[in-house]
Amino acid sequence: MKIRVFLPAFNVGKNIKELLKEFSDVVFIIERSGYAMEVLVIDDCSTDDTKNVLNQLHYNWLLVKSNEVNIGNAGNIIAGYQWSIESDFGADVVGCMDADGEHSPYALVRHLKMIKDGLCDSVVGSIIFPDHDCNYHDRNMMRFWGGMQSVMAGVDGMFYIQSPGYNLHQRFRVAEALRLLEEYKNFFAGASKDPFPRWGLHGVMIYLIAVGTKAQVKAVYLECFGKSPNRTLDKLILQANAASIHSTMLTKFLPKT
């Protein structure tokens, strides 16, 4: 099995070194099982010392891409998935992870085995699944916008996505979802006068994989430590609005069967 994981990064200089150190442990474990792994960090014009920290790290499994202009989280998600499915490496499983240290790379070992053993086609991070007693702050944030993203995920039961920045998918599912994404953008342009919402691309991809390719998606509980620079009130509102718009449009684009 070959695995590709990408990490969109913006101003994560305080966390990225320790995160990639954990990745080195994961790669060691995976390689002992006869697998191969590549990790791509996409530095999106960070204004802190992220680039300097990355330049000091030398792992044979690590690739670093520095964007010439800031393209935002949505742009990096699509660019990362497109890199993931490129044929030169021949990955079987592809995924993404937030680069701020919010998620532990050690979880990859168990979740890769779940996909390999045929228990599911994809694994997506969730903070409430099926019923977790999260703290008061998280619960209110979840109720605010998580429910709309759960519709987009296409999975059964309670599934409030707080941080879908942790994903693992079979490569061919992602390739088909990216194709469907272009069709969805065209559909959106013809059905709405509003600009295509950039926020919520994680949810769109999950929906297209779960519903469009009929993949079996399993939600897994993951700790969230609130380190993400995106977890501000104004950006949460943008995410909520985008999730609401995409939920409606995606249901029209790919009705559930």
Domains and CATH numbers, the chain: 2-253 (3.90.550.10)
Q: What sign has the CA pseudo-torsion 108, 236, 44, 246?
A: positive
pLDDT at 256: 67
Tell me the Ramachandran region of residue 226: left when phi exceeds 0, alpha when psi lies from -120 to 50, beta otherwise: left
- For residue 229, whether the previous peptide bond is cis, meaning omega lies within 30 degrees of 0, is no
Q: Which amino acid does the sequence have at 205?
A: M
pLDDT at 240: 74
Question: Rounded to 5 degrees, what angle do the CA atoms 226, 244, 238 make?
Answer: 45
pLDDT at 229: 58
- The DSSP bridge partners found for residue 95 are 5, 168
- Joined tokens for residue 201: 């691309």
Tell me how crowded residue 70 is: count the other CB atoms within 10 A of its CB.
Answer: 12
Tell me how crowded residue 116 is: count the other CB atoms within 10 A of its CB.
Answer: 13
From residue 224, how far is each of 49, 102, 134, 164, 227 by CA, in Å?
Answer: 24, 5, 10, 11, 8
- Joined tokens for residue 252: 């029209």
The pLDDT tens digits along the chain (257 residues) read 899 999 999 999 988 999 999 999 999 999 998 899 999 999 999 999 999 999 999 999 999 999 999 998 889 999 999 999 998 888 999 999 989 887 889 989 999 999 999 999 999 887 655 555 444 444 444 444 455 556 665 555 555 555 678 999 999 999 999 999 999 999 999 999 989 998 888 889 988 998 899 999 888 877 665 556 556 667 767 777 888 888 889 989 988 65
**Which CB contacts under 8 angstroms, 24+ apart, belong to 25-30?**
25/105, 25/106, 26/105, 26/106, 26/108, 26/109, 27/59, 27/61, 29/109, 30/3, 30/108, 30/109, 30/112
pLDDT at 94: 97
**Helix/strand/coil for 255:** coil
pLDDT at 255: 80
Q: What is the pTM of this model?
A: 0.86
Cα–Cα distance measured from residue 126 to residue 20, given in angstroms and rounded to the nearest whole number? 22
**Helix/strand/coil for 180:** helix
pLDDT at 135: 47
Q: Which amino acid does the sequence have at 68?
A: E
